[in-house]
Amino acid sequence: MTPTKRLLLSAAALSLVALSPFAALAQTQTGAWSDTSLSPDARAEAAVKAMTQAEKLQMVFGYFSTDATWMSGGTKNFIFPKEGLADSAGYVPGIARLGIPAQWETDAGVGVATQRSPTPRLRTALPSGLATSATWSPDTAFAGGAMIGNEARLSGFNVQLAGGMDLVREPRNGRNFEYSGEDPLLAGVITGNEIKGIQSNHIVSTMKHYALNAQETNRFTIDVKIADKPARESDLLAFQLAYEIGKPASVMCAYNRVNGAYSCENDWLLNQVLKTDWGFKGYVMSDWGATHSTVAAANAGLDQESGWAFDKSPYFAGALAEAVNNGYVSQSRLDDMAKRVVWALYATGAVDNPVKGDQSSTIDWAGHAKVTQTDAEESLVLLKNNGLLPLAKTAKKIVVIGGHADFGVLSGGGSSQVYAPGAKRFDGEGPEGFPGPLTYYASSPLKGLQSRTKASVVYNDGKDPKAAAKAAQGADVVIVFATQWTGESFDVADLNLPDNQDALIAAVAKANKKTVVVLETGGPVVMPWLNSVGAVVEAWYPGTSGGEAIARVLTGEVNPSGRLPVTFPAALAQTPRPTLDGDPKLDDSSHPHSDYDIEGAAIGYKWFDKKGLKPLFPFGYGLSYSTFATSGLSAAADGKGAKVAVTVKNTGKTAGSTVTQVYVAPATDKDAASASWEAPKRLGAFAKTALNAGESK
């Protein structure tokens, strides 16, 4: 969702069917819906039968419950139910007499991201979604999700708008940092486990943005073209795997069009693929501002209009009631919509384990700091190392340059922005309003290094490349922190580091060849200075404990084990669309197109393999301070798949973890099936293994 989308309608324009303040006074009734021995299906069926028509309509209509006068010119121009939380993303009134709680919704996938008004709540931020995917660890993803779900629950929220699943088709996408990479298996496994962790707290998690939402430019109107088969073998496969693993109770449909129809009124996406083919029992909610109709949307499979104030009209309020009365939407369809919503609340335990308001004083801050730090440590990818890392204990002078490393680490912008204790925006950097503010978390890599080494560690802000180069001269090692801020509502123009940072790195490396570069980026970047530096670490957006994690990896307390979840192109010319489709200057009345059939399911490394292109760094790549060897590979048919076994040995002198990646390909190039494959090979399985020096598993 986005606070910059229009807020058009006055309270008078909304024909309300029902609100719950009166219901809160009603005595709770009992019935089959309250029988915990029954299945969620049976309880939901009973609850809907007991509902009035007004109550059914109430279940499918959501408010933007934030007191958003700060974003609407100081005038509150939409209904704000008084029982909604003032800093939540959304609110759906409950039905007290049936024991059905209200739905209090909050963003997003890296932590509890409350709105800014009146004052943002301070919560723990995980590393970016792309960073968590770089861990290649389902257990780490689950732990992070469980942490998010716990903080959401203790903050009074029972719906987490998490589970970002859009594959990285477009490396310039401003929201790539929220997602889980370019491969459907990796993305599905990682995000599915995060969702499972969130819902272990008896709250609802979404998965989003369904589907094929690969760029922010013209995101409200762009029409992406793709055939059924490649869609099901790429983006939809990622969603399917995440659904099978995590069982999200809700799916958020996207802004964009797919093959001519908006995602939130797309019969093929919602009714055919999601509900019929996959058997999804939960409810489809719209993104905020993604509902465009009443009859078409309801009949195509949208179950709940979310944040109605962002839409042109309250489509699922009075208009839906009228459509049902006139037979344009069947009564059975409305019943199904309401049933899916309450089924989600029963299935996750949100009904039987209701949230109890703000209990944030009981949050385990120290424990959650460890969770996010572990995630960050496992996500760091060592891309190059000519022996500079880990930092030598004999070093006497270390110069740290740029990236506000004296203060903290960067985070991504937009609705997923988590506000954390001590976080800061630096004047003149990035927008102050949405998708900003550009925020740094108070976890200083500089201080982390200073506490871990006997060397003199000094800082230069890097704003003047000449001064930085001069400061680098004579140092035993130089560490340049380079940042790239990305966020919701915009795509980056290219893959170069912004603010002349490429020139900064080149100048420093020329002055001192013992230069380490630490990247804090939202996705892939090009590195024109790569051959001039001694080491490169991709740290992504590493979360509220990111500075400590970076310092531990650089000093060798932690052996880097991250692997790239996305290909780093050598140039945009290597990608399917060197020039981004659409134009940010176009308004919402335009309908630009993007042809995803160019690459089809051959996203990322598959495209590079298919075209015989050499990337800057390939998918799955990452170095270690140790070395590993594999042996004894075996494979045997196992039902519809194969069971693959391999022995992995740590042949180095340092404990560490490695990621075994198994790729599959047609038996021969002449195999009849090979012609239908999207690329020469696919990721078929992976496993992360921790090994002591000399140990085998």
What averages of pLDDT result for each successive group of 10 residues across the chain (697 residues)?
Answer: 38 40 53 95 98 98 70 48 74 96 95 77 96 99 98 96 96 97 98 99 98 95 97 98 98 98 99 99 97 98 94 94 98 99 99 93 96 99 98 97 98 94 91 90 98 97 97 98 96 96 98 98 99 99 98 98 99 97 85 94 98 98 98 88 93 97 83 75 96 96
Check residue 673 and give its pLDDT.
Answer: 58
d(CA 382, CA 364): 31
Nearest to 205 by CA among 256, 264, 146, 137: 146
Structure tokens at 423: 């976080």
Asked if residues 380 and 397 have their Cβ atoms less than 8 Å apart, the reply is no
CA 470 to chain centre: 40
Check residue 320 and give its pLDDT.
Answer: 98
> Active site includes 287?
yes
Name the DSSP class of 66.
S
Helices 331-348 and 40-50 meet at what angle, rounded to 10?
130
Helices in 301-330 by DSSP H: which ranges? Answer: 318-325
Asked if residues 80 and 67 have their Cβ atoms less than 8 Å apart, the reply is yes
Structure tokens at 570: 């050598």
Name the DSSP class of 327.
T
Dihedral of the alpha carbons of 504, 508, 511, 516, in degrees to the nearest 10 = -160
Residues 6+ apart with CB under 8 A from 537: 380, 381, 382, 383, 389, 516, 517, 518, 519, 550, 553, 554, 560
Residues 6+ apart with CB under 8 A from 542: 127, 128, 131, 376, 379, 380, 409, 443, 520, 549, 550
Q: What are 644's strand-pairing partners? A: 635
Check residue 669 and give its pLDDT.
Answer: 63
d(CA 161, CA 204): 8
Nearest to 629 by CA among 617, 614, 612, 646: 646
Check residue 18 and give its pLDDT.
Answer: 40
What domains are there in the chain, each with its CATH number? 21-70+86-355 (3.20.20.300), 380-555 (3.40.50.1700), 626-691 (no CATH)
d(CA 178, CA 191): 11
* Other Cβ atoms within 10 Å of 267 Cβ, number: 13
CA angle 417, 488, 248 (to 5 degrees): 70
Asked if residues 281 and 343 have their Cβ atoms less than 8 Å apart, the reply is yes
Handedness of CA 388, 391, 393, 396 (dihedral sign): positive
d(CA 682, CA 576): 18
DSSP per residue over 167-189, as a string?
A: --S-TT-TTGGGS--S-HHHHHH
d(CA 302, CA 270): 7
Residue-wise pLDDT tens digits, 123-146: 999 999 999 999 999 999 999 999
d(CA 281, CA 165): 19
Nearest to 374 by CA among 189, 191, 562: 562
What 3-state DSSP class applies to 286? strand
Check residue 19 and give its pLDDT.
Answer: 41
- Which candidate in 287, 336, 491, 609 is catalytic? 287
Check residue 151 and give its pLDDT.
Answer: 97
Residues in the chain: 697
In the block, which residue shows the tokens 């693959």? 644
Name the DSSP class of 494.
S
**Pairing outcome for strands 515-520 and 477-483:** parallel
What 3-state DSSP class applies to 620? coil
What 3-state DSSP class applies to 413? strand
Asked if residues 378 and 561 have their Cβ atoms less than 8 Å apart, the reply is yes
In the block, which residue shows the tokens 């802000």? 461
